[in-house]
Chains A and B, each alone.
Chain A
Amino acid sequence: MPMRKATAPDPELRPDEVEQDHAEEPEVQAEPDDRDLAAVESIRELCEVSGLDMRPEVRGVEGSYLKIELIGEDAERIFGEHGRMLDALQFVANLIISRKLGPGVRVLLDAGGYRERRLKMLTDLAREYAAEVKARGEECEIDSLPPHERRIIHKLLSEDPDVMTYSEGEEPDRRIIIAPREIPSA
């Protein structure tokens, strides 16, 4: 585990830059609107041209994320087993969707239960690192993760009163730093 001397976030950065992954979106479940349906249509077209046994099913709306599960034998066998390919598909699909529909609609793709397995793995990792940070009083860095996965860790550890998180570096090498939370002096 890469432990580092505890340092404060770069003071040159404005708070919103330091905290940009935290940008909390309301976790309300909503019904997909017309723009969401247009986004699903883009994914459906993409599935069709790919010639793969794969089709999108909407699983709900979470904040500005439209959750879509890719159903089908190829979806599970290829994108469910190769998370980098799933993330690549999601990244390109979101670029295309934002060009077509403007900002504000983003899809979160899943296949073959990949995101759930990944969520468990990221949760375990975050808890293990947080425990280490508390034990040593030093900050540590997690290897680069895509934005939607950093968001999971920021959110999870925001509930821990003893640590704080922020991100450093540029995409695609942006990494989360877990640091001891400073005790405010009375």
Chain B
Amino acid sequence: MSQDSVARTLQYLAEGLVDDPAAVSVSCLDDRGTTVYDVHVADDDVGKVIGRQGRVAAAMRLVARAVAMKSHRKIQVEFGP
């Protein structure tokens, strides 16, 4: 499975945050010029990638955006089971 650098970064970060890293997967699709990344984790791990008041998710989105700056792409990141 070939992932782009944003997906690989999200995968790496999510795996480092959850109890069940094997359940982490990142899919992406193009939506009118914006690449939408879906970070999937085990049901019990959703809270870990979102964090209190969404802080972890917000930080992961910013890091993903930083990585995407190199290729000047518009991205969006969603988290869920």
Residue contact B69 to A171, C-beta cutoff 8 Å: no
Contact B70 A92 (CB under 8 A): no
Measured CA separation A85–B9 after assembly (Å)? 14
Contact of B70 among A42, A74, A89 (CB under 8 A): A74
Question: Residue A172 at the B interface, CB < 8 A?
Answer: yes
Interface size on A, residues (CB 8 A): 23
**Are B17 and A78 within 8 A (Cβ)?**
no
Task: Determine the chain A residues whose CB is within 8 A of the CB of B11 once the complex forms.
Answer: 49
Query: Does A15 have its Cβ within 8 Å of any Cβ on chain B?
Result: no
Judge if B23 is at the interface, Cβ distance under 8 Å: no
* Shortest beta-carbon distance from B56 to chain A in Å: 7
On whether A52 and B67 interact (CB within 8 A), knowing A88-B62, A96-B17, the answer reads yes
Q: Which of B1-16 contact A (CB under 8 A)?
A: 5, 8-9, 11-13, 16
- Is the pair B17, A85 in contact by a Cβ cutoff of 8 Å? no
Q: How many A-B residue pairs have CB under 8 A?
A: 66
Query: Does A79 belong to the interface (CB within 8 Å)?
Result: yes
Given A95-B56, A172-B53, check contact A46 B70 (CB 8 Å).
no
Nearest neighbor of A77 in chain B, beta-carbon distance: B69
- Complex contacts, A52 vs chain B, CB 8 Å: 5, 66-67, 70
Does A82 belong to the interface (CB within 8 Å)?
Answer: yes
Determine whether the beta carbon of A92 is less than 8 Å from that of B60.
yes
Beta-carbon contact of A92 and B12 below 8 Å: no
**Cβ contact within 8 Å between A89 and B16:** no
Q: Among residues 87 to 130 in chain A, which have CB atoms less than 8 Å away from a CB atom of chain B?
A: 88-89, 91-92, 95-96, 99-100
Q: A85-B63, A89-B66, A92-B13 are in contact. Are A49 and B58 (CB under 8 A)?
A: no
Query: Could you mark each residue 54-86 of chain A with 1 if its beta carbon is under 8 Å from any beta carbon of chain B, else 0?
Result: 000000000000000000001000110010110
